[in-house]
Amino acid sequence: MPAQLIDGNALSRQLRAEVAERAAALTARGVRPGLAVVLVGDNPASAVYVRNKVKACADSGLHSVLEKYEATLTEAELLARIEALNDDPAIHGILVQLPLPAHIDAHKVIEAISPDKDVDGFHVASAGALMVGQPGFRPCTPYGCMKMLESIGVSPKGKHAVVIGRSNIVGKPMAMLLLAANATVTVCHSATPDLAHHTRQADIVVAAVGKRNVLTADMVKPGAVVIDVGMNRDDAGKLCGDVDFAGVSEVAGWITPVPGGVGPMTITMLLVNTIEAAERAAGI
Ligand code: NAP
């Protein structure tokens, strides 16, 4: 039987409706949740991501500010802007769109964001909080993947989860979230000798690599949940994930499509984190 789809668009609509309700309740109390999005340079993909984030804020009743700077902006100037946003009471979340131009140290910039406004969850304080099981902002993409599992009633508890990829923004926090949810977690990466050996044992596979067809049908246990984080282009230039969707759909129990899977969930969780930041600032 072909796998059931985990529809990221439908789940996003549901979660964004909840965000809009919380935003309206906060606004009625005189606190309009606000997100600042900072874009440096003219990377065309970044411009699209940033536009989508600003639009998502407007659609859910959040206030947003888009700060666009030339690629020549200095690191010191950017750090000064972050400091000003940290002090701005109308701003509850700060997002610096990555990548930054090479002359700017992205790590330094992320660390300059107040952990209370770190809605991307990339600050070392947020990563540390996740590591030790303390409250803090969870990185939006893996947080969205956890919501997808929840939405289909699959608890990671007692399951074997395999995460392919170990980046700081997806793979590692994904592994931590699954571990916190009591899964037994294996993390694979480019130096893993026999990827299929691991994925074939997995009840849950999360692919976060950035290469087409990293996961094919022969690598998947029948009935497994497959979450595809990857964003790639096929030969025809169409958006596709890391997973051979057609083949794996015949074996898996559940699968996320690309597009329409993890992508919309990432922006949705950014809105959720921003609302949470605003509620905390308002003492709720
Ligand atoms: P990244 O920083 O490039 O990390 C990729 C990871 O994949 C690395 O850990 C790398 O291992 C591993 N890897 C590379 N080749 C491999 C192979 N053949 N087998 C197993 N592992 C391999 O990428 P990222 O930022 O995590 O993003 C991953 C993908 O997700 C990209 O396509 C990105 O565009 C997409 N993405 C999507 C969303 C969304 O909202 N849908 C959000 C974020 C990212 P090493 O560590 O050993 O190099």
179, pLDDT greater than 90: yes
> Is the separation of the CB atoms in 172 and 189 below 8 Å?
no
130, pLDDT greater than 90: yes
1-21 residue pLDDT tens: 699 999 999 999 999 999 999
Structure tokens at 220: 């998947």
Ligand 1 centre distance from Cα of residue 241 (Å): 11
97 catalytically annotated: yes
For a mutational test of ligand 1's pocket, the pick from 141, 174, 231, 232, i.e. the residue with the most ligand atoms closer than 8 A to its C-beta, is 231
Q: Name the average pLDDT for the chain.
A: 97
Cα Dmax for the chain: 57
Which atom of ligand 1 is the closest one to the Cα of 191? 47
Which helix H or strand E contains 207, and what residues bound it? strand 204-207
- What's the half-sphere exposure (Cβ side, CA atoms, 13 Å) at 177? 29
Q: Is 170 in the pocket of ligand 1 (CB under 6 A)?
A: yes
| Residue of 4, 14, 87, 97 marked active site | 97
Q: What is the DSSP string of 102-160?
A: TTS-HHHHHHHS-GGG-TT--SHHHHHHHHTT---PPPHHHHHHHHHHHHTT---TT-E
Q: Which pLDDT belongs to residue 81? A: 98
Q: Is the peptide bond before 142 cis (omega within 30 degrees of 0)?
A: no
Spell out the alpha helix ranges (H) of the chain: 8-28, 44-59, 75-86, 106-112, 124-131, 140-151, 171-180, 195-199, 245-249, 262-281
120 catalytically annotated: yes
43-100 residue pLDDT tens: 999 999 999 999 999 999 999 999 999 999 999 999 999 999 999 999 999 999 999 9
Ligand 1 centre distance from Cα of residue 184 (Å): 21
> Is the separation of the CB atoms in 263 and 283 below 8 Å?
no
Share of the chain above pLDDT 70, in %: 100
Q: Which pLDDT belongs to residue 228? A: 98
Using pLDDT thresholds of 50, 70 and 90, give the confidence band for residue 123: very high
The alpha carbon of residue 200 and the mean position of all alpha carbons in its chain are separated, in whole angstroms, by 25
Q: Which pLDDT belongs to residue 237? A: 94
Q: Which pLDDT belongs to residue 180? A: 97
Q: What is the mean pLDDT of residues 156-160?
A: 98
Task: List, in order of start, the domains of the chain with CATH numbers.
Answer: 29-115 (3.40.50.10860), 140-263 (3.40.50.720)
User: Using alpha carbons only, what angle is made at residue 139 by residues 137 and 144, rounded to the nearest 5 degrees?
Assistant: 110
Q: What is the mean pLDDT of residues 135-150?
A: 98
Q: How would you list the strands of the sheet with 63-69, edge to edge? A: 63-69, 34-40, 93-96
Q: Which pLDDT belongs to residue 101? A: 97
Using pLDDT thresholds of 50, 70 and 90, give the confidence band for residue 117: very high
**Dist. CA 64–CA 213, nearest whole Å:** 37
User: Using alpha carbons only, what angle is made at residue 131 by residues 127 and 132, rounded to the nearest 5 degrees?
Assistant: 120
Q: Is 266 in the pocket of ligand 1 (CB under 6 A)?
A: yes
Q: Which pLDDT belongs to residue 262? A: 98
The residues, ordered by sequence, that sit 6+ positions from 100 with a Cβ below 8 Å of its Cβ are: 40, 41, 78, 106, 109
Backbone angles phi and psi of 282, in degrees to 5: -85, 5
Beta bridge partners of 65: 36
Backbone angles phi and psi of 259, in degrees to 5: -80, 175
Which atom of ligand 1 is the closest one to the Cα of 144? 40
Q: What is the mean pLDDT of residues 160-166?
A: 99
Which atom of ligand 1 is the closest one to the Cα of 266? 40
**Dist. CA 97–CA 209, nearest whole Å:** 20
Q: Which pLDDT belongs to residue 34? A: 98
Closest Cα partner for 181 from 157, 165, 197, 159?
157
159, pLDDT greater than 80: yes
**For the whole model, what pTM was predicted?**
0.97
